[in-house]
Chain A
Amino acid sequence: MKDAGEETVTPGQVLGKGSEVKAGRGAYLSCDTVYASLTGCRSLLPPSPQSPDQRPTVEVIGHKAHGPVPEPGCVVIARVTKVMARMASADIMCVGSKSVREKFSGIIRQQDVRATEIDKVDMHSSFRPGDIVKASVISLGDARAYYLSTAQNELGVVSAESMAGGTMVPISWTEMQCPLTGQIEQRKVAKVRA
């Protein structure tokens, strides 16, 4: 369906020759041919005038089924699902300010919880299952999960429930207090700007 120069393409469809176009988002180069890797609209971006390589860039974008995808360097909101001795697993719920359309798993390793004294980190005093954390994506990780990090002041537990069931109030970067029982629990708390 040709629509003012933009057509709908499917994964595997040939978008052009490697010598004529550069592969952009949603496209990849294989043996001198650029193929699409996503479903969407094909669009051609003109090359920037300064660059020596004067090939246009072809992109595949715009299909409404695509939600945001975590990329290295972006800040995500995740819910901790499991805490183990050396790492914690989390389900990524939002990328930036947009919620994701499909399930992404993340892992926070013991050495990525905070910036100081990383070998003395106790995972149980940093996160508990059910906590909402703000983390940054360090890398795409392995096939199972992204690697996340909370090693900055603004990252860490944003919201947590105490053992009595009340939403806790942060009192320092390591402690949160339950409003119902007054008990103090340890977490790696994020510094949220007022």
Chain B
Amino acid sequence: MEASSSKFVDQLVVPGDVILDLSNLSNQTLKLGGGLRQDGDSICVMKAGKLRFMKPNKYWVESSQKRYVPSAGDNVLGVVVDTKPENFLVDIKGPAIAFLPVLSFEGGTRRNIPKFEVGTLLYVRVVSANTGMNPELSCMDANGKAAEYGILKDGYMFESSTGLSRALLSSPPHPVLEGLGKKLSFEIAVGINGRFWVNASQSSTVILVGNAIQKSESLSMVQQKIYLEKLLKSIQ
């Protein structure tokens, strides 16, 4: 039996809004995602954003912030802030500094510990992020292979919001990213923690791509296409 949808689906909700009253619904189980909380018989919103619904029974709030809340399985861009005997201390824009064990690299042993200077940019995976504890990172995937994780050399890192990071990683691809990729050649790494890194043979390309992506966040789909056309014409 399908759950009757809340009338707030796909609309902007703010903390305190009650989206569903469980006493009205018949015997059903609902799955609550991020940003929602059960308070006795009512489902309340905890985070401001758009309410989303997926059949048959999943509700969640989609929001975009500059602040990142670490969660296991995320791929993020981190900056090394300190080295300890057992771990590297890496900043991932979360509430606490994350630990990257010195042996969490493919083929990592006590003899070949990488030497990272303070300020090194890394593409890492969040292994565990429990509340109250520092998140733990790894430069290997779940099978123990290096995959694409590790140090990101050259290029430049830009800050974004978590919403823009998710848009850059979504499929169908982000229009500005796709359009620029057809005309220019560059490398990009996107961290779900609100950071992305761009590298190209010329620094003017890096600056162009970074600025274009950051500007596109506040534009709608149609505006993005117009902006992209103007930008590509001006490069010729």
Q: Which residues of A line the B interface, CB within 8 A?
A: 82-85, 123-124, 128-129, 181
Contacts and interface: CB of A to CB of B under 8 A. Distances in A.
Contacts of A124: 128, 130, 133
A85 B38 contact: no
Q: Nearest 8 A-B pairs (CB), nearest first?
A: A124-B130, A129-B132, A83-B133, A83-B132, A124-B133, A84-B133, A85-B136, A128-B132
Contacts, number: 17
A158 to B, nearest CB: 19
Max chain B Cβ within 10 angstroms of own Cβ: one of A83, A84, A85, A124: A85
B38 A181 contact: yes
Given A83-B132, A84-B134, A123-B133, 8 more contacts: A82-B132, A85-B99, A85-B133, A85-B134, A124-B128, A124-B133, A128-B132, A129-B132
16 contacts: A82-B132, A83-B130, A83-B132, A83-B133, A84-B133, A84-B134, A85-B99, A85-B133, A85-B134, A85-B136, A123-B133, A124-B128, A124-B130, A124-B133, A128-B132, A181-B38
Interface in B37-68: 38
Contacts of A181: 38
Contacts of B134: 84-85
Contacts of A129: 132
A82 B128 CA distance: 16
Contacts of B130: 83, 124
Contacts of B133: 83-85, 123-124
A47 B133 CA distance: 53
B: contact size bracket: under 10
A124 B134 CA distance: 11
Nearest to A128: B132
Nearest to B128: A124
Interface in B62-113: 99
B159 to A, nearest CB: 29
B197 to A, nearest CB: 28
A127 to B, nearest CB: 10
B72 to A, nearest CB: 11
Nearest to B37: A164
B30 to A, nearest CB: 14
Nearest to A80: B132
A186 B113 CA distance: 35
A85 B128 CA distance: 10
Max chain A Cβ within 10 angstroms of own Cβ: one of B99, B133, B136: B133
A166 to B, nearest CB: 13
A4 B136 CA distance: 64
A128 B130 CA distance: 10
Max chain A Cβ within 10 angstroms of own Cβ: one of B99, B130, B136: B130
Contacts of A85: 99, 133-134, 136
Max chain A Cβ within 10 angstroms of own Cβ: one of B128, B132, B136: B132
A147 B133 CA distance: 20
B47 to A, nearest CB: 16
A117 B99 CA distance: 25
Interface in B106-152: 128, 130, 132-134, 136
Contacts of B99: 85
A123 B133 CA distance: 10
A84 to B, nearest CB: 6
A7 B99 CA distance: 56
Nearest to A129: B132
A124 B24 CA distance: 38
A84 B130 CA distance: 10
Contacts of B136: 85
A162 B130 CA distance: 15
A105 B138 CA distance: 31
A83 B38 CA distance: 27
A150 B196 CA distance: 45
